[in-house]
Amino acid sequence: MVKEGYRNTSIGVIPDDWKVERLSDVGKVTGGNTPRRSTDEYWGGDIPWLTPSQLTGKLINEISETDEYITEKGFENSSVKLLPPGTVIMSSRATIGETVINKVPMTTNQGFANIICDENKVYNYYLLYLLRYITPRLEALAGGSTFLEISRTNVRSVNIPVPSLLEQKKIASILSSVDKSIEKTSEIIEETKELKKGLMQELLTKGIGHSEFKDSQFGEIPKSWEIKVMSYAAKINPRYKIPEKEKYLFLEMDSVNEHSPEVDGYESREKSRCTNVKFKEGDVLFARITPSTENGKTALIENLEEEVAFGSTELIVLSPKKDLITSDYIYYLLKWSKVRNLAISMMEGSTGRQRVPREVFDGAIKIPLPQLEEQKKIASILTSVDAKIQKEEEYKAKLERLKKGLMQKLLTGEIRVNTDMEV
């Protein structure tokens, strides 16, 4: 039963006063091309030339610059098309449905279906959001054995809901305002991460409130600090043979987080005899097979439900000697680029599966070691910055959920907007 004011259509239930139009009825669908790569004089000019890879994974609404540019000769000697500003550019190959609006005249390669909108029928920013929303429908029309591709013929035939221009503009305005909040939050997250990098460098070399310094392998450090091998302050736990028991907690390496000291979750395993690592509350885990990532997978074990747990042999366990070092301080040392890069430089094995040997923590890797009270202060400052990052990331996730819900309701007409309000 369709509620009053709505009707069934080929694309689902929409308001009575909305139309169903083919994309070819509301705009001109065109493609792109690639000038011959072997001809140098076709490349390095002033005409922007876009490829899908520049959009993949980047949720941007507008674009003015491209990674590559072609010359007038390249333009004249190929079938590339100059798209007017305001065109809805949509990736149609491999990754389908990545959309952006060009702010300057632009060309693209053949991996796009570009819609030059009829301004009397469709608002380009409304179409931008709508194409993102109906991406599953577009993918269903795609074919190809090596990678998915939707033809421009199929793109032209796609039916879309078309409200009045006023309603289109209001819908786009609402979604754009959420996008701006997401973008602003992303900027805050990145700025705070940069702040954290600077703070780590400052705090882990200069400390807090020192006036006298000495030279070290880490640069100038406070005169009262020591340089010690990691194993001086922390026990580096070896592999451990799990005794047969009813159940035990087990942690996979993939459950160790790059961006948080918390782990993503334990498995409950039953009767098994195998060699793994053993850890307890307050230990720090270092994933030795992935330290080359920007943050590295490192975990601080807190709120452990059992006395001990076990983990993948790809994890190195560092147990702090509590009279010398705190768990938090070890965690931040392992996240610090100077310590992590040293570990990376000592990786062994084939190129595809290199690992940090456990032995490097026994002698090769040295650390700056303040007194316990200063370690706690340093860790406390960095923890507060991490909390700020986590708060902003949670807020961003909330905004993204809000946007997803709004797209579903606004772009189907389930919720109507007030067109009398100023756009």
Tens of pLDDT, residue by residue over 102-144, are: 999 999 999 999 999 999 999 999 999 999 999 999 999 998 7
Does residue 412 lie within any of the structural domains?
A: yes
Q: Quick one: which H or E segment has residue 349?
A: none
Domain interval for residue 283: 226-368
Give pLDDT tens digits for 168-184.
999 999 999 999 999 99
Question: How many other C-beta atoms lie within 10 A of the C-beta of residue 83?
Answer: 23
Q: Where are the alpha helices (DSSP H) in 217-326?
A: 230-233
pLDDT at 422 over 70: no
Q: What is the CATH number of the domain that holds 81?
A: 3.90.220.20
Q: Does 46 share its domain with 112?
A: yes
Give pLDDT tens digits for 183-212.
999 999 999 999 999 999 999 999 999 999
pLDDT of residue 276: 82
Q: Could you say which of 368, 388, 415 is where a domain stops?
A: 368
pLDDT at 94 over 70: yes
Q: Does 14 share its domain with 155?
A: yes
pLDDT of residue 361: 87
HSE on the CB side for 246, CA within 13 Å? Answer: 0
Q: What would the mean pLDDT of 341-357 be, rounded to a whole number?
A: 83
Q: What would the mean pLDDT of 46-68 be, rounded to a whole number?
A: 92
Q: Does 105 share its domain with 44?
A: yes
Q: What is the CATH number of the domain that holds 171?
A: 1.10.287.1120
Question: How many other C-beta atoms lie within 10 A of the C-beta of residue 345?
Answer: 10
- Residue 133, C-beta contacts closer than 8 angstroms, at least 6 positions apart: 407, 408, 411
Give the Cα separation of 226 and 44 in Å (integer).
Answer: 54
Name the domain count of the chain: 3
pLDDT of residue 6: 94
Q: Does 357 share its domain with 388?
A: no
Give the Cα separation of 64 and 66 in Å (integer).
Answer: 7
What does each C-alpha distance from 119 to 14, 27, 125 come to in angstroms?
22, 8, 11
First to last CA, the chain: 34
Q: What would the mean pLDDT of 290-305 be, rounded to a whole number?
A: 82
- Residue 22, C-beta contacts closer than 8 angstroms, at least 6 positions apart: 156, 157, 158, 159, 160
Give the Cα separation of 101 and 254 in Å (integer).
Answer: 37
pLDDT of residue 154: 95
Give residue 115's region: left, alpha or beta (phi > 0; psi -120 to 50): beta
Give the Cα separation of 234 and 220 in Å (integer).
Answer: 24
Does residue 198 lie within any of the structural domains?
A: yes
Q: Does 64 share its domain with 28?
A: yes
Q: pLDDT band at 271, cuts 50/70/90?
A: low
